[in-house]
Amino acid sequence: MKQLNEVADLFFSAGIPMPGVQVSQDEALRLVRERYPYCEYCLVADWRWIDLDVTTTKAQLAELTRTNRKPAVIYAASVIYDSQRRWDVGDFVRTSYLYKFEEGFIFQTLNTIYILIGDGVRKKASLETLGRIF
C-alpha cells in the first residue's frame, strides 16, 4: 500500500508551482527551431518536474555525474508535438535525465529538447517510485 500511496502522491498531491512558457504551439515551434535548428524536440503540457532522490544509490549518482546529467526528469501528461513522431498528440511522456535547463522552460536531455508549455509543478520522488509509473 505504501508504494501505491507514493505513486498517488507524485501525481495528485500539490507540488511547488513552476512557470513554463505561455505561448501558442506555433510560437513554441518558432522558438525551438530558431534556437535549436538541428535538435529533436517535443512540446509538452500538463507537466511535472520530478527531482529524483539518488543519495542512496551512489553508482547511479556517479554515472549521472560522469555523463554531466542531473537527477531530474519531466513527466508530461500531454504531448503537443514530437518532432521524431515517437509519441502521438495527447500521449504522456517521461523524459530521460536532465542535461541542461534554460530560460525557465527549456528542459534538455542528451537526445531531445522539451519545451514546457503552461505552468507545471515540481515534486521529489525516489527512483523506485518513478520506476513504478512506467
Query: Using CA atoms, how far apart are residues 57 and 12, in angstroms rounded to an integer?
Result: 26
11-68, pLDDT tens digit by residue?
Answer: 677 889 999 999 999 999 999 999 999 999 999 999 999 998 876 667 777 888 888 8
Cell for 43?
A: 512540446
Give the chain's domain count: 1
Place of cell 518558432: 30
Three-state SS at 101: strand
What's CA 66's distance to the chain center, in Å?
A: 21
What pTM was computed for the model? 0.88
Three-state SS at 42: strand
Which structural domain, as residue segments, surrounds residue 11? 2-132
64-117, pLDDT tens digit by residue?
Answer: 888 889 999 999 999 999 999 999 999 999 999 999 999 999 999 999 999 999
